[in-house]
């Protein structure tokens, strides 16, 4: 049976490996809804900060957006899994993501003693997007990341702050765009030269066959990830997450992880233990 000292000794090589490095965490799913899990994720992020790792948190907030839309008399509409975002919906998206949800996460982190700063992609032109054109129809103000300007993030992490980034982006003419938060996390991880991208999900990881829970893929290279996207083998909810991993790895991030955010302290288990959890995606030949 492990003693507390054994746990710390096991974690020591990981403290050393990631000290001073940036780790980007995409926060979403049930971990954003369940109050106990919220608290645990914030504790995990604060602990990363206090052992010398530089976390950057990226979040979406789909359920909160849909809830406020319904309160205001709008019915959410989706095409190909993407929210149709007209001008009125974009206002609600920005209110929720850059306002309520972002500031709630900042407050939770600050309660843990960390100094968090909330940002949207519009701050310092952090995330510049262009309109997404879908063959399934006009999605309105749904965007794709065109570029990330990481200066504000680098400045904040160097000064000891934890950036909390919502997935609202700015267009070339100053318009707002709703961008998938997984994609934002992948692009940010590449832009800041992160040591890891960790994406919290509502499943154990990536399955070779979603209907067969014994088919969990523990380790895969980027070539297999691309093949799963090409052949349609990836479950729909995993598609943007795999795309984010590919973006990050092609941008120089060594490893990406898809982990079960429903598991208490999943982040700490992944980063600081020998066994890890979920699915790791890495470059070909790594």
Q: In the chain, how many domains are there? A: 1
From CA 149, how far away is CA 129, in angstroms rounded? Answer: 11
Q: Is residue 106 part of a domain?
A: yes
Candidates 283, 282, 259, 284; CA nearest to 271 is 259
What domain range is 253 assigned to? 4-64+93-116+148-168+181-282
Tell me whether residue 178 is annotated as binding: yes
Q: Is residue 140 part of a domain?
A: no
For residue 26, the number of C-alpha atoms closer than 13 Å in the C-beta half-sphere is 31
Tell me whether residue 80 is annotated as binding: no
Candidates 141, 124, 133; CA nearest to 179 is 141
Residues 6+ apart with CB under 8 A from 285: 221
Q: Is residue 83 part of a domain?
A: no
Q: Is residue 133 part of a domain?
A: no
CATH number at residue 17: 3.40.1160.10
Q: What is the pTM of this model?
A: 0.95
Give the model's pLDDT for residue 252. Answer: 96
From CA 219, how far away is CA 284, in angstroms rounded? Answer: 11
Tell me whether residue 61 is annotated as binding: yes
Report helix, strand or coil for 169: strand
CA distances from 268 to 11, 12, 83, 95 (A): 9, 13, 32, 31
Query: What residue ranges of the chain have pLDDT lower than 50?
Result: none
Q: Is residue 174 part of a domain?
A: no
Count of residues in the chain: 286
Give the model's pLDDT for residue 285. Answer: 61
E strand spans, the chain? 22-27, 54-59, 78-79, 82-83, 116-119, 127-131, 143-148, 162-166, 168-170, 176-178, 196-201, 206-207, 216-217, 219-221, 255-260, 279-282
Q: Is residue 242 part of a domain?
A: yes
pLDDT tens digits for 37-87? 999 999 999 999 999 999 999 998 888 888 899 998 888 888 767 788 999
Give the model's pLDDT for residue 33. Answer: 84
Q: Is residue 38 part of a domain?
A: yes
Give the model's pLDDT for residue 257. Answer: 96
Q: Is residue 60 part of a domain?
A: yes
């Amino acid at each position: 049976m492990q003693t507390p000292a054994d746990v710390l000794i096991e974690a020591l090589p990981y403290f050393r490996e990631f000290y001073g490095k940036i780790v980007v965490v995409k926060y979403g799913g049930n971990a954003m809804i369940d109050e106990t899990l919220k608290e645990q994720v914030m504790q995990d992020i604060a602990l990363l900060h206090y052992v010398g790792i530089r976390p950057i948190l990226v979040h979406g907030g789909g359920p909160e957006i849909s809830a406020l839309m319904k309160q205001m008399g709008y019915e959410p509409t989706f095409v190909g899994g993407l929210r149709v975002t007209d001008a009125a919906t974009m206002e609600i998206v920005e209110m929720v993501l850059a306002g309520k949800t972002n500031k709630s996460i900042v407050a939770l982190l600050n309660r843990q003693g960390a100094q968090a700063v909330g940002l949207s992609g519009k701050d310092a032109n952090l995330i510049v997007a262009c309109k997404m054109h879908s063959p399934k129809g006009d999605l309105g103000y749904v965007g794709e990341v065109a570029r990330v300007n990481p200066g504000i993030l680098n400045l904040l992490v160097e000064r000891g702050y934890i950036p909390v980034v919502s997935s609202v982006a700015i267009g070339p003419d100053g318009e707002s765009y709703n961008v998938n938060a997984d994609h934002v996390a992948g692009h940010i991880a590449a832009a800041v030269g992160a040591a890891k991208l960790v994406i919290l999900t509502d499943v154990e990881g990536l399955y070779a066959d979603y209907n067969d829970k014994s088919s969990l893929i523990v380790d895969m290279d980027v070539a297999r990830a691309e093949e799963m996207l090409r052949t349609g083998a990836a479950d729909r909810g995993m598609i943007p997450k795999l795309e984010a991993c590919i973006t990050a790895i092609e941008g120089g991030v060594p490893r990406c992880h898809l982990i079960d955010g429903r598991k208490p302290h999943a982040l700490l288990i992944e980063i600081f233990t020998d066994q890890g959890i979920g699915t790791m995606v890495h470059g070909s030949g790594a």
